[in-house]
Chain A
Amino acid sequence: MDFSVIRDNLDYFLIGAYPNGPLGGAALTLVLSVLSGIAAAVLGLVLGIALSTLKGWPRGILIAVLGFLRAIPVLMLIFWSYFLLPILFHVDIPALFTVVCALSLIGGAYLAYSVHAGIQSLPDGQWAAARALGMRPVQVMRLIILPQALPIMLPSFLNQWISLIKDTSLAYVIGVGELSFVATQVSNRVMVHPTEIFLFVALVYFVFCSSLDLLANFATGKQQVKRGG
């Protein structure tokens, strides 16, 4: 094992060609996962609330769309958004944005069900009591339901974020210069020590994901203590 190839290219692994070029490497992986994490959380919250409140055929359509998003591979969705978005909006869209778009759609579809489950977990009496106090449905959701349901959902949001960090590696297939892409670039350039390069890259992802994993476990544990469980 010879890790000098890591030391020689460390800057490139961590920040890409920045500041002389675009941001890349591990920093871009973080940027991608933060952006798509926030977008997925917002989307998941909206879709989850819609899933809990809609009735009849709009709900049927929503379930079909969510089922479709959960059934296709992330890779396929990245292909679709890479080719569809420019056609839909008639402008050149950066590859980075298409990745964020695809990842937040997938993440949002999964989170919608967590949000739905969190809302369902509250007893019906909460709704009834708030309605009896004369609150409008929007107020009930904002003031009564969500403040109680959001802490329950926190671990699944964090777990979804871990998946998102791992899925940002798929941006590789459309040439976004994040950590995995940079790794194959360096590996192809130096032609030796691929083992060391991919071990190092795996380690960086491992640090990102397992620290979030610890946080999620901490959040779950804290909740159980709070509920006396």
Chain B
Amino acid sequence: MFGELLGPQYLKWLFDGFLLTLTLSVAVCLIATGLGFLVCLARLGSSRLASWPARTYLSLLRNTPLLVQLFFWYFGVSALLPEGLVSWLNQPHELNLAGLDISWPSFEFIAGFWGLTLYTSAFIAEEFRAGVASVRPQQREAGMAMGMRPAQVWLYIVLPQALRTALGPLLGQYMNALKNSSLTMAIGLAELSYASRQVETETFKTFQSFGFATLLYTLSIALIEAAGQWIRQTRRYRQGAA
């Protein structure tokens, strides 16, 4: 049942998968944080023109499964897009970012990235909103009384406190994004779960392949947790808490 270890070529499959999982998760977390912040601002906005679309966005994305959303973007929307665009997306292009040559991502990667980013942004927006709601209204009033402009009150008073409260839940959402990236295997992206399944069918070494993938997932989650602990210990974070 336990038997020997995996051959080097299978380990390479798993590591390649892990690398893809990490790339996808980091890209998703970065973009989803920015997008989530914008959605949170729109949701909190006093104008109904902004807050109602944001409410709809949040409720639609949070109340449907990620898997169905990925299928929708991958199968559903690619059928709607003009044929020229789809074939353009499928062809490799030169991509040059800050002097680095990046290989053009596959269509699976683009669809997975898009779906996962939107899904994660909805959850991050709600964490931000909870953080902002935790700042007492008196704080804002005090800022206004000191003659600050509304933008300054936001930047210097509300945001620093809201971000501190939101840090824990935000890291939790990053962990969820990493775990949820496993669902992109359903649209054929060769990330860690896909690779472990592939190694398993190839070698019949169920324990080794799933065990290795599980270990990598657990390690990355533990790293995020450790990063959170580290941030909480920095002087900047503690200073604000006083």
Contacts and interface: CB of A to CB of B under 8 A. Distances in A.
Contacts of A76: 182, 193, 196, 210, 213-214, 217
A68 B68 contact: no
B71 A183 contact: yes
Interface stretch (A17-25, A51-59, A167-175, A218-226): A167-175
Given A80-B214, A173-B186, A202-B72, A73 B193 contact: yes
A170 to B, nearest CB: 6
- Between A73, A74, A83, A168, the greatest number of chain B beta carbons within 10 A of the residue's beta carbon is seen for A73
Interface residues of B, number: 36
A68 B215 CA distance: 10
Secondary structure at chain A's binding surface: helix, strand, loop or mixed? helix
A162 B217 CA distance: 24
Interface in A184-229: 184, 187, 193-199, 201-202, 205-206, 209-210, 213
Nearest to B180: A73
A217 to B, nearest CB: 11
Nearest to B218: A71
Contacts of B80: 195
Interface in B176-226: 179-180, 182-183, 185-186, 193, 196-197, 206, 210, 213-214, 217-218, 221-222
Given A68-B218, A80-B210, A166 B197 contact: no
Contacts of A201: 68
B103 interface: no
B1 interface: yes
A205 B1 contact: no
Dominant secondary structure of chain B at its interface with chain A = helix
B182 A75 contact: yes
Contact of A172 (B1, B62, B186): B186
A165 B221 CA distance: 24
B210 A79 contact: yes
B67 interface: yes
B79 A194 contact: yes
A154 B1 CA distance: 43
B206 A83 contact: yes
A79 B63 contact: no
Contacts of B67: 169-170, 172, 180
B65 A167 contact: yes
B203 to A, nearest CB: 13
B116 to A, nearest CB: 13
B7 to A, nearest CB: 20
B197 A79 contact: yes
B76 A195 contact: yes
A186 B179 CA distance: 28
Contacts, number: 105
Given A83-B206, A83-B210, A198-B71, A72 B77 contact: no
A210 B179 contact: no
A46 interface: no
B229 interface: no
A88 B72 CA distance: 37
A198 to B, nearest CB: 4
Contacts of B65: 165-169, 180, 205
B183 A170 contact: yes
B13 to A, nearest CB: 16
A73 B72 CA distance: 21
A172 B66 CA distance: 12
A104 B217 CA distance: 20
Nearest to B176: A73
A80 B218 CA distance: 14
28 contacts: A71-B222, A72-B214, A73-B183, A75-B182, A76-B210, A76-B213, A79-B210, A80-B214, A166-B65, A169-B65, A169-B66, A169-B68, A170-B183, A172-B67, A180-B71, A183-B71, A187-B75, A193-B79, A194-B75, A194-B76, A194-B79, A195-B72, A195-B75, A198-B68, A198-B71, A198-B75, A205-B68, A210-B63
Given A167-B65, A169-B66, 12 more contacts: A72-B218, A73-B217, A75-B185, A75-B193, A79-B193, A166-B65, A170-B183, A172-B186, A173-B185, A194-B71, A195-B77, A206-B60
Interface of B: 1, 59-60, 62-69, 71-72, 75-77, 79-80, 175, 179-180, 182-183, 185-186, 193, 196-197, 206, 210, 213-214, 217-218, 221-222
